Amino acid sequence: MVPSASVQIVDLRSDTVTKPTPEMRRAMAEAEVGDDVFAEDPTVARLEALAAERLGKEAGLFVTSGTQGNQVSLMAHTQRGDEIILDENSHIFNYEVAGLAILSAVQARTLRSRHGILDPTEVRDAIRQPNIHYPKDTLICVENTHNRGGGTVYPLATLKEIRRIATEHGLAVHLDGARLWNACVATGIPAKEVAAQADSVTFCLSKGLGAPVGSMVTGSRDFIGRARRARKMLGGGMRQAGIIAAAGIVALESMVDRLREDHENARTLAEGLAKLPGITIDLGLVQTNIVIFDVARKDVDAPGLILRLHEHGIKAFNINDQRIRMVTHKDVDRPGIERTLQALATILK
């Protein structure tokens, strides 16, 4: 059974599904533009300066996606044959089509993490001494909030310790901050303080912040110069990109604080889920807008539950046969959350 056209879909698959706001559409229609490959688009320049300023970095770069942001960062930080240290559940290692191996030709040294948070001691132990047999370790990657970890937030003290170890051993740190603003809103820690623990920081405009397209890379002027060349190589040199950058400016200026609502909705959803028979959820891991839970029932597994939810007009996706992820965002309101819980209660009664 497919939901009838009159039923409004509650789409919890990802915060990437958010649609631009009327204010964004207006800004896009009115954006001043130029050819950004010639550095002539004033709106892109404004967005890049704004992102850099918000994170306390020298420069910013507007890229097509979070994936492109991570990949150009890796290309700008490393040399062919280097080794990078990152957690085995990171987005860069799992969901970027082996870009690190193909585009940067680096080797990944993956570490286990606790729900996405690396142990600084294990990071230190993984750094290799100079030896003719070994690859050179040049970069540590961290992810905040952590997607597969369930939207978990890096404790600032852990980031500071990783930063300290990296500096001591001459490695750079890259922060995949696709959902950095969720982390900052959840903890109240200023973005600049988090960003100071990394040499480069990416964040997405097109997730919880609601812009239609785009992500930002920030770092030193030198680093951004190299990332810009890498972006060009990947075909990411966009022309009158001010049209989409304009929405990014609105996103950064007006959509950060409201992420709090998404976190509250995620908490309500998680607490409701915890009461349902056959659902296992660690409420301590629900720190931002991602809710991950397990289904342990004889009558329905995770893929089955996804199909049943779809009949009620609710979309989510399963990570494997037991595990489901739901992501809250601006286009799902409190009644949408209530409807999701009611549908689950009906299916699992």
List contacts with ligand TLP (CB under 6 A): 14, 16, 65-67, 70, 91, 95, 143, 147, 176, 178, 204, 206, 215
- Minimum Å gap between C-beta 129 and ligand TLP is 31
Residue 187, helix vs strand vs coil: helix
- Give the residue among 246, 259, 191, 188 at the shortest CA–CA distance from 62: 246
**For the chain, how many residues are written?**
349
**CA-based angle 309:310:312, to the nearest 5?**
70
Q: In whole angstroms, give the CA distance from residue 293 to residue 185.
A: 23
Rounded CA-CA distance 349/343 in Å is 10
Nearer to ligand TLP, 200 or 215 (CB): 215
> CA-based angle 205:327:295, to the nearest 5?
155
Give the residue at shortest CB distance from ligand TLP. 66
Residue 97 φ/ψ, nearest 5 degrees: 55, 35
At closest approach, how far in Å is the CB of 11 from ligand TLP? 11
- Residue 95 or 134 with smaller CB distance to ligand TLP: 95
Q: How far is the CB of 119 from ligand TLP (least distance, A)?
A: 19
State the minimum distance, in angstroms, from the CB of residue 103 to ligand TLP: 14
**CB 95, min distance to ligand TLP, A:** 5
Cβ atoms of 283 and 271 within 8 Å: the answer is yes
What separation in angstroms does the CA of 275 have from each of 153, 283, 284, 307? 25, 11, 15, 21
Distance of CA 116 to the CA centre of its chain: 12
CA separation for the pair 78, 101 (Å, rounded) = 12
Gyration radius from the chain CA atoms: 21
Nearest approach in angstroms of CB 90 to ligand TLP is 8
Least distance in angstroms from the C-beta of 181 to ligand TLP: 12
CB closer to ligand TLP, 200 vs 347:
200
For ligand TLP, give the closer residue by CB, 103 or 178: 178
Of residues 41 and 176, the one with the C-beta less far from ligand TLP:
176
Of residues 270 and 292, the one with the C-beta less far from ligand TLP = 292
Q: Which is nearer to ligand TLP, 43 or 90 (CB)?
A: 90
